[in-house]
Structure 1
């Protein structure tokens, strides 16, 4: 087995071996040591709002039916029949009280319990040959929900979801809880790019530095109020818990004036004031920062922006959630959802969706700019010379490791974690440090894994009640 300890040490000091963005051995390690343990976003409760609603989502190669059963519980079943292993559900989404395997007709309730087995008596001798009682589709080892966002972990012993999220929950609320009813999701759009999954996650976590170069044309055509992309350096970066992101610096004004500046109508502003804490409101109203892109480790990202969507100078905000689903070391499937406050006016929802498609839909202007860079990086990382090159990711640090600019104080930035103003690569380094630490962790104890799998196989069901 290849020893990657030197690679991981280089990553921790901010010198990135270029080949980590296109390396088969590293990708196999990521599958075993990151995606088999982390909490992975798979959907939102608004996508399965009614009993029987379901979506089919993957964690790498593992397919899960994420459904709301007849009692209102959110469940996730491994999408594989107990008989001969056929996928039980082949549709991407729908509503069903039962799932019937198309191979031999075994059927299951949407809570996972087996209820139908053709020729049970003739083929198996009835209950004596195959006892149906207690048999169910294999449940996901761990399921958790925060603000309606549904996460799965393949590790039965994973820490609770809220503990995993840590202080990043403070920032998640900006994207996912603008009113008591939370958000609703539409989508996802899906497309594949010939790029490594880590690149997008890093970019959304904190790369404000690329905006003046990569996205200059988007600003020059007048899509935004700001006269130039250089204003990104006035924003702040933050990292807290298991995620971090970027902010824009807003003009002077009150909380209400600043929220109106990015296009929110007064009724939505009043609901935000009811839902967000004093500290959350202070980031905008007192400190003058508006949240923008962010990433939750390992592969979930967010964007909040406010382009012009009509012929006037008025802007309107949109929010998108996305997942970077690894396919291989050099290919990623992007799942991109449009998110909007469930209580927002219908005309706001329509224009916000238009703004999302224009900027970050599958053919969005920002999307096309970014993907061109990411594909080039991935292709170049596959060559032999990339194994000799360390990419410099130490922006914001002096040679001795001290910081170029001081961290923002609690009086300057009201949120948890560490915040900094100006261009730097602190967030990207933080994300990759977590990546390196995960790859360095020993593999799971086989005895513990076997016990967890045995418990699931014996019908131990995991669900989250939302009655």
Structure 2
């Protein structure tokens, strides 16, 4: 965001540029974040003597990393490395994002809003095979798939690996190549997949007969892989879609959805795969329409007072004494990491919501150490300063050398500036004032976490 008024500087969904110009007042930045120009610098700010551009830069991402071309950003500068965060889920993420050594071609995003809580979609993608034969019955009736989806789903497997989980389909007997052809992949794409997928990933398809479908990674990343018919006949065309669920509030979510395809695939395949994606998912997809109707209804019902008194049943896959209805699959039957269960269950949903409940109990991440700029006379970092004596502002390197103040020191400085007549520190500039997390919000989060844990129970997921 711009250092002047906080305007979003880059608003394009795709592309690259060497410079960025804020559309509000015209402050300009290099693509490394450095401020390089502002209109009427001399007239409005007194030039370099009044406001020195050197050392001024956009706020960096507190924690940024990428995996297979996906860029992950955390607001916690002390967050664990991305590879550790993803853990064993990387095995399954590769199926969606590692189609060949040529990388992925991505289209989108499509963006739309739904009047539903963001967690409902995430948990649905994470492991809900149970809804498919009911919610999506019309999709089967019009012949979009080769066989009834209920038959495909009851023999499928759900898996949970570290911070993510998903569903699979059971494929007819055959080799790795034969099974990949069955779901519509041409031979050249199958060859490229076999070159980048590990032996264990190929065994999951070739030996075990399972192919990934929908999945979610905590907190709000979901993926889907399917292979519908796009015209009359028996031929099917696979597609891959990646999406995020961005909460607007507890009752509304903005969905960002991308289409992904092997960049080395033929133009004909790319065109047909994109058509298959649009038929099923996206703002007008047939699956999407079915799902959203359910999610909106659940959100509306949950907002009522009666719903707060009801303890919902989320015990699918568990006996009354907590033992599993069906034991997890052995490594010989399922070559993927994590814990896998065959048939209908809610292990993944319980695991996902347990992660969410644990997350609510964590203290808020401190982003104070990511502040960039110069210090005002009170010693508080502020991106833009006009009230400091000229040539007294340290550069970024000098500021880093002298060290950042700790979280407690910033809070203490904030409290010292307050007075009984000015309890919220309005006398200080907004840019210099530290906004602390609301104590009642933190306490409320813990209360919610406890309530959710009581309602959903702890998933006693066996490990192997």
TM-score (ref. length: structure 2)? 0.79
Matches within 5 A, 1:359-438: 359-438=280-359
Report the Cα offset of residue 454 of structure 1: 5.7
In 2 relative to 1, CA 454–303 (structure 1 residues): closer, same or farther, beyond 3 Å?
Answer: same
Report the Cα offset of residue 109 of structure 1: 1.2
CA contact (8 A) 1:109 1:115 kept: yes
Please give the secondary structure, in 1, of the residue aligned with 2:65. strand
User: Which has a greater percent of strand?
Assistant: 1
Q: Aligned partners of 1:308, 1:438: CA distance in 2, in Å?
A: 41
Q: Aligned partners of 2:103, 2:343: CA distance in 1, in Å?
A: 32
Q: Aligned partners of 1:260, 1:151: CA distance in 2, in Å?
A: 33
> Are 2:109 and 1:188 aligned?
yes
Q: Aligned partners of 1:281, 1:258: CA distance in 2, in Å?
A: 11
State the superposition RMSD in angstroms.
Answer: 1.7
Could you give the per-residue CA deviations for residues 211-258 of structure 1, whole angstroms, max 9, x where no partner exists?
111111111211101134233010001010210100000000111100
Report the Cα offset of residue 399 of structure 1: 1.2
**Which of 435, 451, 456 is the equivalent residue of 2:369?**
451
Please give the secondary structure, in 1, of the residue aligned with 2:312. strand
CA contact (8 A) 2:316 2:345 kept: yes
CA contact (8 A) 1:215 1:369 kept: yes
CA contact (8 A) 2:317 2:346 kept: yes
In 2 relative to 1, CA 223–89 (structure 1 residues): closer, same or farther, beyond 3 Å?
Answer: same
CA contact (8 A) 2:132 2:149 kept: no
CA contact (8 A) 2:108 2:257 kept: yes
In 2 relative to 1, CA 449–114 (structure 1 residues): closer, same or farther, beyond 3 Å?
Answer: closer
> Are 2:168 and 1:247 aligned?
yes
CA contact (8 A) 1:305 1:317 kept: yes
Report the Cα offset of residue 98 of structure 1: 1.6
In 2 relative to 1, CA 441–85 (structure 1 residues): closer, same or farther, beyond 3 Å?
Answer: closer
Q: Aligned partners of 1:102, 1:218: CA distance in 2, in Å?
A: 45
Kindly tell me the number of residue pairs found equivalent between the two proteins: 378
In 2 relative to 1, CA 339–93 (structure 1 residues): closer, same or farther, beyond 3 Å?
Answer: closer
Could you give the per-residue CA deviations for residues 421-466 of structure 1, whole angstroms, max 9, x where no partner exists?
010000000000000111122334xxx5433436896858xxxxxx
Report the Cα offset of residue 385 of structure 1: 0.4
Q: Aligned partners of 1:441, 1:251: CA distance in 2, in Å?
A: 45
CA contact (8 A) 1:318 1:340 kept: yes
**Which of 192, 200, 208 is the equivalent residue of 1:287?**
208
In 2 relative to 1, CA 266–90 (structure 1 residues): closer, same or farther, beyond 3 Å?
Answer: closer
Q: Aligned partners of 1:386, 1:399: CA distance in 2, in Å?
A: 23
Q: 2:199 maps to which residue?
A: 278
Q: 2:82 maps to which residue?
A: 161
Report the Cα offset of residue 102 of structure 1: 3.0
CA contact (8 A) 2:159 2:339 kept: yes
Q: Aligned partners of 1:99, 1:452: CA distance in 2, in Å?
A: 21
Q: 2:92 maps to which residue?
A: 171
Report the Cα offset of residue 137 of structure 1: 1.1
Could you give the per-residue CA deviations for residues 78-116 of structure 1, whole angstroms, max 9, x where no partner exists?
xx2212333334444454322222333221112211111
TM-score (ref. length: structure 1)? 0.78
In 2 relative to 1, CA 352–435 (structure 1 residues): closer, same or farther, beyond 3 Å?
Answer: same
Q: Aligned partners of 1:163, 1:453: CA distance in 2, in Å?
A: 26
Q: Aligned partners of 1:358, 1:86: CA distance in 2, in Å?
A: 37
> Are 2:27 and 1:106 aligned?
yes
In 2 relative to 1, CA 266–459 (structure 1 residues): closer, same or farther, beyond 3 Å?
Answer: farther
Q: 2:152 maps to which residue?
A: 231
Q: Aligned partners of 1:237, 1:137: CA distance in 2, in Å?
A: 43
Q: Aligned partners of 1:178, 1:459: CA distance in 2, in Å?
A: 42
Please give the secondary structure, in 2, of the residue aligned with 1:338. strand
Report the Cα offset of residue 283 of structure 1: 0.1
CA contact (8 A) 1:107 1:114 kept: yes
5+ residue gaps, structure 1: 1-79, 461-467
Q: 1:83 maps to which residue?
A: 4
In 2 relative to 1, CA 183–92 (structure 1 residues): closer, same or farther, beyond 3 Å?
Answer: closer
In 2 relative to 1, CA 91–262 (structure 1 residues): closer, same or farther, beyond 3 Å?
Answer: closer
CA contact (8 A) 1:106 1:118 kept: yes
Q: Aligned partners of 1:114, 1:410: CA distance in 2, in Å?
A: 55
Matches within 5 A, 1:293-332: 293-332=214-253
> Are 2:44 and 1:123 aligned?
yes
Q: 1:264 maps to which residue?
A: 185
5+ residue gaps, structure 2: 374-380, 384-394, 398-464
In 2 relative to 1, CA 459–93 (structure 1 residues): closer, same or farther, beyond 3 Å?
Answer: farther
In 2 relative to 1, CA 346–125 (structure 1 residues): closer, same or farther, beyond 3 Å?
Answer: same
Higher relative contact order (CA 8 A, sep 6+): 1
Q: 1:335 maps to which residue?
A: 256
CA contact (8 A) 1:186 1:338 kept: yes
Report the Cα offset of residue 140 of structure 1: 1.4
Could you give the per-residue CA deviations for residues 338-368 of structure 1, whole angstroms, max 9, x where no partner exists?
1111111111110000100001121111111
